[in-house]
């Protein structure tokens, strides 16, 4: 059987060559492949649709692009990498001297072998991205410049996958599908989200889990605009990105800072003994800033490994298939599953025998623990759950205050509930 990390890496490999942007056929092709792993409901929102303070832009598609030198050789070729074209470039077909062409060329002088990722979404422009060492080697002369693209009325495309829960209250998991050939940002996040959805579908979760595969910023804004009437169903959320590099896990808290997802992630990361960082919310980054905008103020945090702009390879051709690792994606997936397992079992209970400690032995509760390697912990967990089941404290409160593992506390609550000593 293939390990989840290897399967996720294989998905990243399939998606990597596609030219994605905030609209267009590259997004559709990406969602079509993801749809082979989990069923998706695809939404097409027409150009010109008002979405909050934004408007859905024209759709961009590209077929070919190149720069040919005076000898007719393609020195920059879109067919070699989708990063070579400035995203959303308007069409161009011209011959011009190198001196004139330079104004439309983007490089990274500090990393001369890398190609940068650049876009011009909302301002008509055209350009090419190339390695500085390629530019340095270009001779003077006349260059043929060709971008075979279209920018026309069309649609913005995003997709959802829903894992039904026992209650209609929702946990949203969001990832962006708008970057071209960048393996860590964004494809590792897409792969982890996809396999997290598959894992949850094998269970019967308490919450309903809604996975959102959408272009960054405008996609999340579009989703929020189209779901404003039912946004009160969203109780928790997580944005996934940069999920496959070798860096330590980083959790960025929601705007609230004390949302339940924030507490759950802190608890899970601490208990796991993994190296990690928890950072404060800032209104910059990925789509957590849309979900946490003050009008919505949802309890949505962000999980990455090395955060955006935190590694030199970010938004360059060096964020390639050699920069992501199956074991790193598997670790990110494991933390997500651990966190959602806590979120799904975290409840407040009421002690139905609150006057003095109820006799547990005659109810067979101590006997039920026989043979467990953590019998003493389990006994203590029962006492803690009974004491803090006042309708105000959750099981996560119990775990944090007692220092006991959450699973042990939740198991104790299950036993006590079965004995009729507490109720949700």
CATH number at residue 124: 3.50.30.90
Q: Does 118 lie in the same domain as 84?
A: yes
Tokens (6 digits) for 279: 């950072």
Question: From start to end of 270-419, where are the E strands?
Answer: 276-279, 300-304, 348-351, 390-394
Q: Does the structure show a pLDDT above 70 at 283?
A: yes
Q: Model's pTM, two decimal places?
A: 0.95
Pair 261, 401 in one domain: no
Q: Hey, what are 32's tokens?
A: 């079509």
pLDDT level of residue 372 (50, 70, 90 thresholds): low
- Which CATH number is 365's domain given? 1.10.10.10
- The answer to whether 156 and 178 have CB atoms below 8 angstroms apart is no
pLDDT at 291 over 80: yes
Antiparallel, parallel or unpaired: β 50-51 and 54-55: antiparallel
Rounded CA-CA distance 384/377 in Å is 10
Last residue of a domain, one of 89, 119, 152: 152
Query: Residue 124: is it exposed, middle or buried by C-beta count within 10 angstroms (0-12/13-18/19+)?
Result: exposed
Q: Is the pLDDT of residue 45 over 60?
A: yes
What's the rounded mean pLDDT across residues 403-410? 94
Q: What is the pLDDT of residue 2?
A: 67
pLDDT tier, 371 (very low <50, low <70, confident <90, very high otherwise): low
Domain count, the chain: 3
Q: Which of 274, 211, 241, 126 is nearest to 118 (CA)?
A: 126
Identify the CATH number of the domain in which residue 42 sits: 3.40.630.10
| Residue 365: predicted pLDDT | 84
pLDDT digits (tens, 9 = 90+) for 320-356: 999 999 999 999 999 999 999 999 999 999 999 999 9
The per-residue pLDDT for range 234-275, each reduced to its tens digit, is 999 999 999 999 999 999 999 999 999 999 999 999 999 899
Query: In the predicted model, is pLDDT for residue 70 greater than 90?
Result: yes
3-state helix, strand, coil in the chain (%, to 5): 35, 25, 40
Q: Are both 146 and 15 inside the same structural domain?
A: no
Average pLDDT over the chain reads 96
Virtual torsion, Cα 20, 26, 31, 37, nearest 10 deg? -90
* pLDDT tens string 81-95: 999 999 999 999 999
> Beta partners for 78?
none
Collapsing DSSP to helix, strand or coil, 269 comes out as helix
- 375 and 417 in a common domain: yes
Of the candidates 345, 371, 386, which is a domain's last residue? 345
pLDDT at 7 over 90: yes
């Amino acid at each position: 059987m293939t390990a989840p990390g290897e399967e996720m890496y294989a998905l990243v490999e399939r998606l990597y060559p596609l030219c994605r942007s905030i609209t267009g056929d590259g997004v559709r092709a990406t969602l079509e492949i993801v749809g082979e792993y989990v069923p998706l409901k695809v939404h097409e929102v027409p150009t010109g649709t008002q979405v909050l303070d934004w408007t859905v832009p024209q759709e961009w598609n590209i077929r070919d692009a190149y720069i040919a030198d005076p000898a007719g050789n393609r020195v920059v070729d879109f067919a070699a990498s989708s990063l070579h074209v400035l995203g959303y470039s308007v069409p161009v077909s011209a011959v011009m001297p190198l001196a004139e062409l330079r104004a439309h060329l983007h490089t990274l002088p500090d990393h001369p072998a890398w190609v940068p990722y650049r876009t011009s979404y909302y301002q008509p422009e055209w350009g090419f991205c190339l390695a500085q060492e390629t530019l340095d080697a270009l001779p003077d002369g006349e260059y043929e410049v060709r971008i075979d693209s279209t920018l026309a009325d069309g649609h913005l495309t995003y997709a959802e996958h829903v894992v039904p829960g026992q209650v209609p209250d929702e946990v949203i998991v969001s990832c962006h599908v708008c970057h071209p050939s960048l393996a860590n940002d964004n494809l590792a996040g897409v792969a982890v989200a996809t396999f997290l959805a598959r894992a949850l579908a094998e269970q019967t979760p308490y919450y309903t889990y809604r996975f959102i595969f959408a272009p960054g910023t405008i996609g999340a804004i579009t989703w929020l605009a189209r779901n404003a009437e039912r946004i009160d169903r969203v109780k928790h959320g997580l944005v996934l990105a940069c999920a496959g590099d070798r860096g330590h896990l980083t959790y960025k808290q929601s705007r609230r800072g004390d949302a339940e997802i924030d507490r759950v992630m802190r608890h899970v990361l601490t208990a796991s003994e993994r190296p990690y960082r928890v950072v404060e919310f800032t209104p910059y980054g990925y789509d957590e800033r849309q979900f946490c905008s003050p009008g919505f103020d949802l309890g949505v945090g962000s999980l990455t490994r090395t955060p955006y702009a935190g590694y030199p390879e970010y938004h360059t051709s060096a964020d390639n298939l050699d920069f992501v690792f199956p074991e790193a994606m598997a670790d990110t997936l494991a933390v997500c599953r651990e966190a959602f397992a806590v979120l799904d079992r975290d409840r407040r209970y009421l002690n139905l025998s609150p006057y003095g400690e109820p006799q547990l032995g005659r109810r067979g509760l101590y006997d039920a623990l026989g043979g467990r390697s953590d019998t003493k912990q389990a006994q203590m967990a029962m006492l803690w759950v009974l004491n803090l089941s006042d309708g105000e404290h959750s099981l996560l409160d119990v775990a944090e205050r007692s220092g006991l593992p959450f699973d042990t506390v939740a198991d104790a609550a299950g036993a006590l509930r079965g004995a009729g000593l507490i109720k949700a």
